[in-house]
Structure 1
Amino acid sequence: MEKTQSVSRLETAREVLHTEAAALNTLAERLDGEFLDAVEAILACSGRVIVTGMGKSGHVGRKIAATLASTGTPAFFVHPAEAAHGDLGMITGDDIVIALSNSGESGEVVSLLPALKLKGIRLIAMTSRADSTLAGEADILLHSHVEKEACPLNLAPTTSTTAQIALGDALAVTLMEVRGFGKSDFALSHPGGSLGRRLLVHVRDLMHAGDELPRVAPGTLLKDALLEMSQKRLGMVTVCDAAGALHGIYTDGDLRRTLERGVDVYRLQIDEVMGRSPRTIAADKLAAEAGFLMKQHQITSLVVVDEAGKLAGVLHMHDLLRAGVF
């Protein structure tokens, strides 16, 4: 490909992005009390948010409904053509409708308005034309007007659909913050993905406990501690007294350093070589937090302790990997 041709294509792409970015900046400055009215109306809604739209606006509407639903606002998309053939039965008087149409004159959307009015449903219109049929029938208008499309013909929905998506995101995030929707709430909406695993899995769910714990008493010979470490296969052994108080740990890394010193491992006691200030974590902490600590301190395991600082378990990096936390 010739250099001049490549430059030309990059200039076209950059112009698209600049055009859409400028439109979003204008949209942000234009937000007013109507946007706040939409937020309050949705917060007051005892039903669901129903999003509808045709064509490209329909695709955007599906995305907006999905974003609302995953951030604490029950919502779903209804295709306007299907609604006209029975799916209107999904919408109740307790619901609120967000209807998207760039022109505000989409036939399939406009045809739903009488039925929505008969049901007493509040209507939020997202359109670029304040003088359109949809805007005129709406209770609340979210004005999504843009000066021009990024399309050089000013025909293909480009900047206008970007504005609709951004306005939907602004609505969802504002509602999310007002509701106090947090990480744990988000995870409940995403239990099947890696995000859910990171946010829902706790240390207690993955840690080794009971007979799986590599554990020896203070004063144990190093050779016996190594046998315990080998049998439990966690690359470390904890040193605890009978009451469960943690005295220290000994890892496979410590073993390499011990051997480099040329000492007699058959006579040495574990107390002479163990680490006395091991990294610990509580069982009720998120597994993701444990992973962060392991990465930060470049270690492969954490000792889990209870409120009294007594040994409760051991968590290894492999446990996090198997659980899909990373």
Structure 2
Amino acid sequence: MNITSFKALMVDKQSDRFEIGIRDLSLADLPQENVTIRVSYSSINYKDGLAATPDGRVLRAYPMIPGIDLAGTVVSSSDSRWREGDEVIATGYGLGTDYFGGYSEYARIRGDWLTALPQGLTLREAMIIGTAGFTAALSLHRLESNGLVPGAGPVLVLGATGGVGSHAVAMLARAGYDVTASTGKSSEHDYLRMLGAREIISREALQAPEGSRRALNSEHWAAAVDPVGGASLPYVLSTIRYGGSVALSGLTGGGEFPGTVFPFILRGVNLLGIDSVYCPSPMRETLWQRIASDWKPARLDAMVSDEVSLADLPAALPAILKGGVRGRTVVRIAQE
């Protein structure tokens, strides 16, 4: 490869100095891993927003290239599984937090971390989905593995206008479920109905009535996808039907919740932890195939709230931490 330099977003923190900006790098600046990729697209996730702040506490070392997602084309490989010209996806495994990530025109990562782009998706579509959509798909898979089937009752999605929530609504609807979307944004009801939500409720509807200390409430939801956590989780658990499950993948509502054991021991409710970072490769391949086929959202492009360039990233990243982003922000990396 005759690549003299390329551009990447670099974050650096030394003592009380924090810097973020576009830098010119060479291939020698990349990690010594076995597959080099020309990155076409990435996306903005909540963790990426944290990485762009001095007190985000998600980066293990500095300097760092953030971007926990990437999709692109292999340009060189010493891994026999990957050849020049292969189109690939990479999410998780510490990409963008422990290792240089996707906000770079070129990336060099381990072949073990790659998934072949499945038939039915373009590189851009793969990054509309990204970690957020993969997390939603993993949540649906775990719920179904624990007994959820279409017709079992309404499935609740919290934080429904966010990246994970939007994809969960769309994938559940595509799979034949009766979806109820919870949001604090009254202006986004049409968006959620377009994704497939049959019912929309407010964020406040998932809080226990003031003064109530009931450990169990009336059974309502067959299951829930929760990328929020925090104060709403105990009430949600207390309203899950007997034997139902909550797939928990996030903590935008906080890392602690004042729950009880009663939903688990009296109704057999399952609290399923969803970790997309270290999900094993065979499961990744299976889920990406489903995302590209029977779970692919019917209106995928409608989830894109914005598409930005690499140069736009320093200004675009803070918005996701303010809770004002609907759906997904795609990052166009390659210079066509």
- The TM-score bracket by the shorter chain reads under 0.3
Q: By percentage of residues, which structure has more helix? A: 1
More strand per residue: 1 or 2? 2
Question: When the two structures are superposed, what TM-score results if normalisation uses the length of structure 2?
Answer: 0.26
Give me the TM-score of the superposition, normalised by structure 1. 0.26
Choose between structure 1 and 2 for higher RCO, CA contacts under 8 A separated by at least 6 residues.
2
**Computing the radius of gyration over CA atoms, which structure comes out larger, 1 or 2?**
1
